Each structure stands twice: as C-alpha cells, then as structure tokens.
C-alpha cells in the first residue's frame, strides 16, 4: 500500500478541523458560549446524567438510573483530615512533572509520556509497551485504541472523586509540558479539554511538519486559502493567546520551509509571517520561539520579521533548547 505525501496528510488534517467547525464544534463558539460538559466547581453534591444515551421512558422501564450522584467524599480521611497543602503536593507528585505529547488515535484522543532521560528510559523498558514510544518516533502514525500508547496514564487520579478532580485539574495542566505533532490532535485537545484546563498550561510546543508546507494549503490558480485553514489556525491562535498562565510557546518547523511550494519559490519569511502573525495577541511575558534550521537564523531575519509585525517572536535554531521544559514552578 502506498503512503500519502506529507502535505496531503497535513491537508487532511485541515479538512477534519473544517468539518468539526461546520458541525458546531468550534473553538470560537466554545469560548463565546461556554459549550462543553464540565463538573461544577462547587463542592456541593451534584447530579449529572449517567445514561444520557438511553431514552428516559426506556430507562424507567429497564430500571436504569438516569442520574449519577457526585458527593464531596468527606468520609475519606485523606480529604477530610489531611491539610490541603499536603494533598496538593501528593497530586503534583502523581500527575505533574511529565513531558506529555498529545496524540490522535483512530477513534479517540490520547496522550503519551516520552522518557527523555536515561533513568526514565530504563524504567520504560521494564514496561511492556511499543518500542517506538521509548523515544519520540513515529509522530504522525495512528494506532487503535486497544494498543498501549504510554507507560503512564495521568487521568485515573482525577476520576477518583469530584474533590480530587477539582484540586488536581490545575496541576495536571500547569505542572506538565505539552507537545503536539498533529494539528488535528491539537484542535481536538483544545476543544475537548475542561474549560479551565488549557488556561493553566505553562509550556507548549507545536512541532508540526505541516508548517513547512504552508503554501500548499492555497488554491493554485487564485491563491485563496483552501479548507479554511487560515480561519482554523486563527481560532487555534486565539485559544493559545487566551492561556492566561502560558510562559513558553515554541513552534518548531522542519528544514525546507523556503522551497516546498509546488507553484512559486516562496520566501521563508513570508511563511513565518503567515504562521506567527495570528499570535500577535500573545502577552509580552510569553517566551515565543520559532525554531528553524540553524543556518537560516541571522540578525537580518529577526529584524525583517519585526518590521512585518512579528515583534514578540524570537528566531532560534532547531538545535536550540526548545520543546519540553522541566516544570519547577510552585503550584497555585
């Protein structure tokens, strides 16, 4: 079976995002209307649908409960006696301090933990898992949900009870570094995360091969954007700019950004400008780095991009320390 060309796979991602936006799953609508199911931040008991897929009349005939009761679990000594500061330290130890890559499987969204140092690699080798996940390889492959994606699942703790969910949710997003390798997975991650989740992200890296093919997403005759990729990217950038706690954003572009268009010999600065200008709303305190091949980074490039409006952007080489960061910040 033949393989799709890289720019074709990237185009299919834009098509998937476009279909979601047209089907009512838009980041802009979510931000405006607050759509999405979130557990209430109140610690009072709460009723949520349990069998919402079963018609109410049929549910009564079958004797199925249509609600699930969430309590504050005060009967637990862990929650009722242990000081909150100690509990937060426990949650941070369990779900924090990891390098998390968001991935897209065939039928669901998931995450993978990539061990980046010798000690963690040794631990990973003791766990039956895919060899490709010991190092960040095979980024754009999709796997069935039944296949094991990582040696560590960060979510069971949050599923324990409502109070732990409310206390640990911020730590899950703020005390981990996040990286994405497909735009489709990133869009779904932003769309399906709890409302307060992405707001807590501090370190984010977008290492997508599709950035190098940016001019392929335009009509060859008119030059107009195809598949609304410009609108979709603007929505994603708006969601990134709204991350109040964001400290570092890295966009990593593979080599060849200046010569992969089939139609024209495009200047690499034009492509970088098209990608980075929608992020002009980023706060000044955010360390915004744009990684390109080392031999293409020079003072002239930085000055030219500043003249084009990309003043909050810092060009760095691919060999620079971008991507995963160690989270040594105190939790709030």
The predicted model scores a pTM of 0.71
- Residue 264: the pLDDT is 42
Residue 75 resides in a domain: no
Residue 48 falls in which region: left (phi positive, over 0), alpha (psi -120 to 50) or beta: beta
Residue 39 resides in a domain: no
Residue 28 resides in a domain: yes
Question: At which residue do the structure tokens 């990286």 appear?
Answer: 179
d(CA 310, CA 301): 11
Residue 14 resides in a domain: yes
For residue 241, count CB atoms less than 10 angstroms from its CB and return exposed for 0-12, middle for 13-18, buried for 19 or more: middle
DSSP state of 3: P
Best CA proximity match to 292, nearest among 275, 272, 278: 272
pLDDT single digits (tens) 183-216: 888 988 888 888 788 889 999 999 888 887 776 7
Residue 141 resides in a domain: no
Domain count, the chain: 1
Q: Which distant-in-sequence residues (6+ apart) come within 8 Å of 14 by Cβ?
A: 183, 217, 226, 227, 228, 229, 232
Residue 326 resides in a domain: no
User: Is residue 177 a contact partner of residue 327, using CB atoms and an 8 Å limit?
Assistant: yes
| Residue 181 pLDDT exceeds 80 | yes
d(CA 33, CA 310): 31
Q: Which domain does 267 fall in, by range?
A: 6-33+91-98+154-317
pLDDT single digits (tens) 92-134: 998 898 888 887 765 566 666 554 333 444 454 455 544 433 3
pLDDT single digits (tens) 283-294: 989 999 988 877
Mean of the per-residue pLDDT values for the chain? 71
pLDDT single digits (tens) 221-238: 666 667 788 888 999 999
Token pair recorded at residue 324: 């995963």
Residue 280 resides in a domain: yes
- Residue 131: the pLDDT is 40
Residue 332 resides in a domain: no
């Amino acid at each position: 079976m033949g393989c799709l060309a890289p720019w074709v796979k990237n185009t299919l991602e834009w098509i998937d995002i476009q279909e979601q936006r047209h089907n009512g799953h838009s980041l802009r609508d979510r931000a405006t209307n607050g759509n999405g199911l979130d557990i209430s931040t109140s610690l009072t008991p709460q009723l949520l649908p349990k069998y919402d897929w079963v018609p109410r009349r049929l549910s009564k005939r079958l004797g199925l409960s249509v609600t699930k009761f969430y309590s504050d679990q005060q009967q637990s000594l862990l929650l009722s006696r242990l000081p909150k500061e100690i509990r937060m330290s426990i949650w941070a130890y369990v779900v924090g301090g990891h390098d998390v890559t968001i991935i897209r499987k065939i039928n669901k969204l998931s995450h993978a933990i990539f061990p980046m140092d010798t000690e963690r690699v040794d631990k990973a080798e003791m766990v039956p898992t895919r060899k490709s996940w010991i190092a960040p390889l095979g980024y754009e492959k999709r796997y069935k949900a039944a296949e094991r994606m990582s040696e560590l699942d960060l979510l069971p703790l949050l599923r324990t009870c409502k109070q732990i969910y409310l206390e640990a949710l911020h730590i899950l997003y703020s005390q981990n570094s996040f990286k994405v390798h497909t735009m489709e997975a990133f869009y779904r991650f932003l769309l399906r995360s709890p409302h307060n989740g992405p707001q807590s992200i501090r370190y984010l890296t977008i290492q997508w091969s599709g950035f190098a093919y940016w001019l392929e997403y335009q009509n060859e005759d008119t030059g107009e954007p195809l598949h609304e990729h410009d609108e979709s990217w603007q929505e994603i950038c708006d969601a990134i700019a709204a991350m109040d706690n964001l400290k570092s954003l890295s966009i990593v572009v593979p080599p060849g950004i200046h010569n992969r268009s089939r139609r024209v010999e495009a200047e690499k600065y034009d492509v970088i400008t098209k990608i980075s200008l929608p992020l002009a709303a980023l706060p000044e305190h955010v360390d915004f780095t744009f990684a390109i091949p080392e031999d293409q980074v020079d003072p002239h490039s930085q000055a030219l991009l500043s003249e084009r409006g990309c003043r909050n952007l810092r060009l760095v080489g691919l060999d620079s320390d971008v991507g995963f960061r160690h989270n040594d910040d105190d939790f709030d």
